Structures are given as structure tokens and as C-alpha cells.
Amino acid sequence: MTEPAETPPIDHAFLGDRRGPAHDPTYAGALSFMRRRYSKDVAGCDLVVWGVPFDLAVSNRPGTRFGPQALRRASAIFDGDAQYPSRIDPFETLSAVDYGDCVLPRSDLQGCARAIEKEAAGIIASGAHLVTLGGDHFITLPLLRAHVARHGKLALVQFDAHQDTWDDGVGAISHGTFVLEAVREGLIDVERSIQIGIRTVAPRDCGIEVIDAYAAHALGVENTVARIKLRVGAGPAYLTFDIDALDPAFAPGTGTPVAGGFTSDEALRMVWGIRDLDFRGMDVVEVSPPYDHADATAIAGSAVAQHYIQALALKKAG
């Protein structure tokens, strides 16, 4: 009698390799991002995915501290198959781990900023590419500090409903001021930076080019992508994707929703369209599960990160 074929074990998050597909059912197993193995050992890694469950800087609805959990849960559907649109399994090329979440001193907001920067800097120093799951948009400021310390001043490519250039005072812990603070600290190359999907009015643009939502819709995806590429050029850049760049119909689970945003399709095609830019890191922020429906927001946010990871794999593969 023929013995049945051995069933691969689930819980790739604990038992799997850094490369290759997982075999966990979508509905079972430990929920790391795209089933990558959990590890604090990043030596030799091409990619590290990391969560920052921080939402103490919001100006409206809280809940983004649960964003990393939701993004991991939504990402479970991706792994184990060739990915769309690249049609490759990125983990055949990339050695990747899920680093878990940043430990934050809840009673010390400035301490939270230092903790994010320090832990990110340690990961980046290994040579790994860091993809961060937020968290509210304040976390991009300490992330930029860590990336700039390694790579020098970066162009900022920001998908967002808000410019985040309000002035709440130097050193403020606010998700609406991180761009202004980054400019003040000299982290951003404003001449090459661009914000896409803006549909609120901020007091200043800091010299950063803005393609507001009406303009982006009028341009269409291909022309918007061309504008982004023209602005950023060949130099190093950082991508930050606030999920409220999407219309609330596609991303209801966020703290400060604004009508008139992108569809999931438009956003993903733009992220894919700029895949050849020299990104040194990225984050997906402002996913707030308490306001989500059927994981729609988390699915969109995880797809943004998944598209970015596919692009990393294509670049490594040449």
C-alpha cells in the first residue's frame, strides 16, 4: 500500500526558512507578514518586515496601534503562490524575516520616538531593507532619522490625504507635523520630494511638490507616475504610504478619512509604476482596524507592501 505524501507543516512563521513559499492554509497558522519566519537575527537578510504599534500622536480617531496585527492577518492570503503582477515568488529571491514589533515605553512619548529610531537603525545597519507596518504617521519621522543616518538625505514620496506640515512646535509628537519636522532637521531633499493624493489644505508646502487628488485624477495613473519619476530622479528615496490616500470607500479603517481619494486599483498601479525608483525603505501607516469593514483597509495596505516587496525581488534578480 502506498504511503500518503507527507503534508508540509504549517506555522512557517516559526518553522520555515527565510526563503521559499509557506504552505499554511490562509485561515490557519501563525500570522507573520506573508508567513515570513519570525526572527530577531537579521544577519544576511535582504528584507526585514517590522511593526510599530504606535497611535499616541493622532489628531482624530485612535486605533492604529492594531495596524501591524491587521496587516499581518490580511497578508496571509498572499504567500505560497507566484505574486501578481510580477508573477514571481519574491521569497525565492529575497531572504526575509518578520522582526516582530517595536517595544515602546508607553508613558514616555519622546522615549517612543527614540525607541523606534534606535531599533530601526539596528536593523538598517545589518544591510537589510526595512519595510515598516504602522502605526500612525508620526512614526515616519524617527524612521527617516534612522534611514538618513545610513543613506544620507532622501527624497520623500508620500501618498496621503494630508501634507502633514502643520506646526505644533519643535519636537511635537504629532502625526500631522512629521514632514515639517523632517524638513527642519534636514532629512528630506525637498527639491526631489513629492506628495500625491492631497485633499486638505495645510499652511505650507515646505518646497515639496504636491499633486493633489483632483490633479492626480485628471492626470491619470500613467501621467501621475511620470510626474513622480521626473521629480524624484535617480537619487535615493523613501516611500511612505498613508492608507488615507485611498478614498474611505476603499479604506474606511483609518483615523482621519477624507472623501475623494484613490481607488485601491489606482494606488497599487501607482506604487507598481514607480518600482524602479531607488527606494531605501518604506512604510504603510494609519491602518486602524476598529473602523475597518471586512478587513478592506488592511487588505489594501498589505497589498501596497506586497507590491513593494515584489519590486525589491525583481531588482535583486536583475
Taking a C-beta distance cutoff of 8 angstroms, is the pair 133, 71 a contact?
Answer: yes
Whether 220 contacts 139, CB under 8 Å: no
In the block, cell 509628537 appears at 173
Judged against a pLDDT cut of 60, whether residue 4 lies above it is answered with no
For the domain made up of 12-21+37-152+239-317, the CATH class stated in words is alpha beta
217 is in an annotated binding site: no
Q: What is the pLDDT of residues 81-94, one digit of tens each?
A: 899 999 999 999 99
Q: Give the confidence band of 3 by pLDDT, cuts at 50, 70, 90.
A: low
Whether the predicted pLDDT of 1 surpasses 70: no
The pTM for the full model equals 0.95
Question: What is the Cα–Cα distance from 281 to 289, expressed in whole angstroms?
Answer: 24
Residue 244 marked ligand-binding? yes
Q: What is the pLDDT of residue 6?
A: 66
Angle formed by the axes of helices 264-273 and 296-317, to 10°? 20
The pLDDT of 167-182, averaged and rounded, is 87
160 is in an annotated binding site: yes
Strands 236-242 and 155-159: parallel
Q: What are phi and psi of 294, to 5 degrees?
A: 55, 30
Q: How confident is the model at residue 25 (pLDDT cuts 50, 70, 90)?
A: confident
- pLDDT value for 22: 85
Does residue 266 have a pLDDT over 80?
yes
Residue 47 pLDDT grade (very low, low, confident, very high; cuts 50, 70, 90): very high
pLDDT in tens, 281-318: 999 999 999 999 999 999 999 999 999 999 999 999 98
Task: Report the DSSP pairing between strands 194-198 and 209-212.
Answer: parallel
Is 5 a residue whose pLDDT tops 70?
A: no
The domain ranges of the chain are: 12-21+37-152+239-317
Three-state SS for the chain is CCCCCCCCCCCHHHHCCCCCCCCCCCCCCCCCHHHCCECCCCCCCCEEEEEECCCCCCCCCCCHHHHHHHHHHHHCCCCCCCECCCCECHHHCCCEEEEEECCCCCCCHHHHHHHHHHHHHHHHHCCCEEEEEECCHHHHHHHHHHHHHHHCCEEEEEECCCCCCCCCCCCCCCCCCHHHHHHHCCCECHHHCEEEEECCCCCCCCCCEEEEHHHHHHHHHHHHHHHHHHHHCCCEEEEEEEHHHECCCCCCCCCCCCCCCECHHHHHHHHHHCCCCEEEEEEEECCCHHHCCCCHHHHHHHHHHHHHHHHHHHHHHC
Percentage of residues in the chain with pLDDT exceeding 90? 82
Quick check: 57 pLDDT over 90? no
Lowest mean pLDDT, pick from 17-26, 179-188, 206-215, 308-317: 17-26
Residue 241 has pLDDT above 90, yes or no: yes
Higher pLDDT, 21 or 74: 74
Give CA 49 to chain center in angstroms.
Answer: 9
d(CA 208, CA 210): 6
Asked whether residue 2 carries a pLDDT value surpassing 80, the answer given is no
Reply yes or no on whether the pLDDT at 240 is more than 70. Answer: yes
Radius of gyration of the chain measured on its C-alpha atoms: 19
Model confidence over 128-147: pLDDT tens digits? 999 999 999 999 999 999 99
At residue 7, the pLDDT reads 67
User: Binding site annotation covers 12?
Assistant: no
CA 60 to chain centre: 21
What rounded mean pLDDT belongs to the chain? 94
Evaluate if residue 12 carries a pLDDT over 90. no
